[in-house]
Structure 1
Amino acid sequence: MRYAASLDENNHLLISKLGTVYVNFHRPLEGKVKQVTIKRQGNHWFAIFSVEKHVNETVDFPVPSTGIDVGIQTFAVLSDGTKVENPRFLLKEEKKLSHMKKGSNNWKKQLQKVQQLHIKVANQRRDFFHKQSYRLSKTYEFVFVEDLNIRKMVKNRHLAKAIHDAGWGAFRNMLEYKCKNNGGKLVRMKPHYTSQDCSGCKKRVKKSLSVRTHVCKSCGTILDRDHNAAINIEKAGLDLLGLCPTA
């Protein structure tokens, strides 16, 4: 349902035909509110704002570029070694639920708990993505990521749940439009041997998924596997765009 709405300085939302309600904001609004959509999820109501925002054509980015390698153990590792920990929302919430058999007397109550769980997890994950993508899009002019075939990857039944919980595709899409809105650019790179090749000397060092440290006997480079991959992703991206890497 869409309504005309206005906000006052005390976070009270005046909605046409409905009146005034207090809103608990997940993050500050940027721009002039043009429209609000009222949405119900389970027992909770949400207000989704559409805003008009002026895009600054001359953005000063603190850092020219970064490469990002996403994972399961760690949500993401940047080419400078910065780690973004994986919040694992679904795993944490599932542990809170008791195990009940379908058809039992408490099944309906359990079903409602599961439905509420997925709504809560989806909201937590979306909020996490917004905060991380906003920070990255404001910091780096060029963001290089692997163009992963996520649909193919989730066919692995051992990794499917963890990949869905991580939400790489949704995060990448959110980061892409925020980079564009902030005057930067997200570039998708082909995921060719980024974890195998040495970021120091380019020699290929074969390793299984269980090996989490990159060790190159040729040049002596020792790095976290994902950090090594993130450096390779950034280097390949800069080369693709014909840009010189920063020291």
Structure 2
Amino acid sequence: MQLIFHGHACVSLALPDGGDTLVIDPGAYSDTATALTGAAAVLITHDHFDHMDLEAVLKHLECSTDTHVWGPASALEDLTSGGAPTERLHEVAPGDVLEIVGTQVTVGGGAHAEIHPEVPQLAMNVTYLVEVDGGRIYHPGDSYEAPATVPDGGLDVLLVPVSGPWTKLAEAMDFARSVPAGAVVPIHDALLSEIGHTLTGRWLDTARLGGKYTYSRLQVGESTAV
């Protein structure tokens, strides 16, 4: 399958042999129009606007009557309030193992990373481990929570958040080193300038960390084989 980066926290998975497309976190800082084109399944980690562009997802559900959305209750409540058909909305919780458009999706996580002790915590942030034909990618949403169980052989792609009010570069480095993966792809990066990207790449690259993965920053619209 092909993993395509659509900006900030949004990626899509184009499944093998002309299969369906699965999209994760089409938010307001992403190229949602391209990401959602042809999408049969949409996974939402939590209801922050930079992870779910409510208007864009509602429009896609209206135009594409076969598309279904999976996410925590708070995200689905926003979609329901916007008029989304409830029969195509599916609530998820940590521990769920789902079969979605030819993939196996394991839901994990539960908590959004703390922004500040005085900022109320979000109700829920889930993570997604997506597996198909031996390929495995992991999206942590707004967290550095590792998968509850890492499959034998590790992951093919670990998506690592690298900017935001809750992030810390040291925690991103620990996350990248703690989860065995062939490639680390930075996400949640809309706040970074090119200088910030360069600095982040230097710290997360294995030349400094001594890890075994390949650090692969993708431009918007670029893809990598999984």
**Which of the five TM-score ranges fits, normalised by the shorter chain?**
under 0.3
- Structure with higher helix content: 1
Q: TM-score, normalised by structure 1?
A: 0.26
Structure with higher Rg: it is 1
Q: TM-score, normalised by structure 2?
A: 0.27
